[in-house]
């Protein structure tokens, strides 16, 4: 009977525990989505006059790849939106995916080939850049063949550090969290991402080794895009010599005089270099708008789910409280009934009403305490399973797998049983146990010994 009581209370407690935990995850998700929308909006404002040009992405080992050209598995520059990312036709899913095969890498091109872009009318600036991923090679078996893929450690991004470009155009990351940003004329220095600091074990002012060459850490930038950026920035010439890519670049960013002429400039670039993939600010803007709308819808859903979860949680808690009290009440009533003779005996041999009553109360409280502890033990195991069973929308429906990677939470709405929650649950169990024992104990004390003795 004690076990039955414990188990039923355990279930009662674990349900609200699971729901409350879920609610917390939803809150986190909502917050992350909110941040992502803000970032997307910031990016939209920056990109109106920007045109990105690059070669079509190539699959490693099939396309043209110069020496030491790694696959770029991470999003290039500060904005977090690589030309390749939009060019590969996967659109949003590409941005959400985290897999190494989800995005094509950018192919290298000879920088001198694109000098003529600068002479196109209304072009304000041409910014060539080189992006190379560095990491560890890993062999994977797929379709019976083995492929080598790069597990990236960091991405080297070379930016031409001339004052005419750096001072006038948003080509460097804007979110500097320590030290200073790169500036015109810098060489032999590196701007690390926050996410690189652990890998290099370095802070501002330290000297780090990149591919055998020493660089001083001049500053650290925070992740400015929606991705987990591991890009470090150096001077373009440094990047080219470092990666043995002298004379090569991976993309050209073109800035037009104004947003009105962007379409014409893009057309001109395309006709001049049909091999290039040209993405205008407007196109990117559209993509971003779609993305933003998607985020907003998701945010609404998340908030709706949160509201639903809360109301479910409240309902569940009320049901749990009522059910638990009733269970304790009935169990205690049953106990008292079952032990009427014992009560009579105790009274006959001189126990006072108060002694008998307090003994039964104590028993109820102790039972509830044990049940509460057992409940927490079961809840910590059963809560995830239970809440998944009860709230499939939270874990599967509204938030697809993609979303969590956007939200940077890493896992789908995780369930945690905090110590505070456990304490509250045990406290509630004891309180309910006490409440449930009051009436039976009172009835015990009212029973006349002779009646109790007659009871078989």
Partner 1 sequence: MSEAVLKLENLSKSYSLGKRNVQALSNLNLQVNKGEFVAIMGPSGSGKTTLLNVLGCLDKPTGGKVLLGEVDITKLPEKKLCKIRSSKIGFVFQTFNLLSYLNARENVELPMEVTKKSKSEKRQRASELLEMVGLSGREEHRPQRLSAGEQQRVAIARALANDPAIILADEPTGNLDTKNKYEIVTLLANLNINRGTTIIMVTHDSQMASQTERLIFLNDGKITKEKQGRHLAKKKLTCPYCGSRTQLGDAICPSCKKRL
Residues making contact with partner 1 (CB under 8 A): 341-342, 344-353, 355, 448-450, 453
Name the phi and psi angles at 162, rounded to 5.
-105, 145
Q: Which is nearer to partner 1, 201 or 456 (CB)?
A: 456
Smallest distance, partner 1 to C-beta of residue 329, A: 23
Would you say 267 or 341 has its CB closer to partner 1?
A: 341
CA 108/CA 106 separation, integer angstroms: 7
The least CB distance from residue 321 to partner 1, in Å, is 32
For the CB of residue 3, give the shortest distance to partner 1 in the complex, in Å.
Answer: 17
Q: Which residues contact 249 (CB under 8 A, 6 or more apart)?
A: 108, 109, 110, 111, 114, 128, 129, 130, 158, 236
How many helices, marked H, and strands, marked E, lie in the chain? 14, 12
Smallest distance from partner 1 to CB 455, Å? 11
Which tokens in the block code for residue 87? 């060019």
Q: Residue 149 or 339: which CB sits closer to partner 1? A: 339
Owner of token pair 């009051």 = 438
402 backbone dihedrals φ, ψ, rounded to 5°: -60, -35
The residue whose two tokens read 């995830």 is 384
Minimum Å gap between C-beta 429 and partner 1 is 24
In whole angstroms, the minimum distance from the beta carbon of 374 to partner 1 comes to 21
Phi-psi label, residue 350: left if phi above 0, alpha if psi -120 to 50, beta otherwise: left
Question: How far apart, in whole angstroms, are the C-alpha atoms of residue 411 and residue 274?
Answer: 42
Q: Which is nearer to partner 1, 97 or 449 (CB)?
A: 449
Strands 251-256 and 50-55: antiparallel
């Amino acid at each position: 009977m004690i076990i039955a009581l414990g188990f039923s209370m355990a279930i009662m407690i674990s349900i609200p525990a699971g729901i409350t935990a879920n609610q917390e995850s939803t809150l986190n998700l909502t917050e992350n989505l909110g941040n992502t929308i803000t970032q997307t909006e910031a990016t939209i404002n920056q990109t109106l006059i920007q045109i990105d040009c690059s070669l079509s992405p190539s699959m490693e080992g099939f396309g043209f790849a110069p020496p030491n050209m790694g696959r770029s598995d991470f999003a290039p520059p500060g904005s977090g939106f690589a030309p390749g990312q939009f060019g590969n036709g996967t659109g949003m899913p590409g941005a959400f995916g985290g897999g190494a095969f989800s995005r094509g890498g950018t192919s290298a091109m000879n920088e001198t080939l694109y000098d003529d872009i600068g002479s196109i009318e209304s072009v304000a600036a041409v910014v060539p850049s080189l992006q190379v991923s560095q990491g560890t090679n890993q062999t994977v078996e797929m379709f019976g063949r083995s492929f080598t893929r790069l597990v990236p450690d960091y991405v080297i991004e070379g930016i031409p550090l001339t004052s005419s470009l750096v001072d006038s155009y948003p080509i460097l990351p804007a979110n500097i969290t320590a030290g200073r940003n790169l500036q015109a004329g810098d060489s032999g220095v590196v701007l690390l991402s926050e996410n690189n600091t652990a890998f290099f074990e370095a802070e501002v002012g330290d000297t780090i080794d990149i591919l055998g060459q020493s660089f001083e850490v001049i500053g650290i930038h925070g992740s400015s895009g929606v991705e987990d950026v591991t890009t470090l920035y150096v001077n373009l010439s440094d990047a080219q010599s470092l990666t043995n890519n002298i004379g090569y670049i991976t993309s050209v960013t073109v800035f037009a005089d104004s947003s009105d002429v962007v379409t014409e400039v893009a057309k001109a670039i395309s006709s001049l270099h049909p091999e290039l993939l040209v993405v205008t600010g407007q196109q990117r803007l559209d993509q971003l708008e779609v993305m933003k709308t998607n985020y907003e819808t998701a945010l609404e859903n998340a908030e709706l789910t949160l509201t639903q979860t809360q109301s479910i949680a409240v309902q569940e808690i009320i049901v749990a409280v009522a059910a638990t009290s009733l269970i304790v009440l009935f169990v205690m009533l049953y106990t008292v009934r079952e032990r009427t003779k014992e009560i009579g005996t105790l009274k006959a041999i001189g126990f006072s009403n108060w002694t008998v009553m307090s003994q039964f109360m104590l028993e109820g409280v102790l039972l509830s305490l044990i049940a509460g502890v057992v409940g927490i033990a079961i809840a910590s195991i059963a809560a995830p399973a239970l809440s998944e069973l009860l709230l499939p929308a939270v874990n599967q429906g509204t938030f697809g797998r993609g979303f969590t990677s956007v939200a940077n939470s890493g896992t789908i709405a995780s369930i945690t049983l905090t110590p505070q929650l456990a304490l509250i649950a045990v406290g509630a169990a004891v309180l309910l146990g006490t409440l449930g024992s009051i009436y039976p104990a009172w009835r015990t004390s009212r029973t006349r010994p002779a009646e109790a003795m007659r009871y078989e």
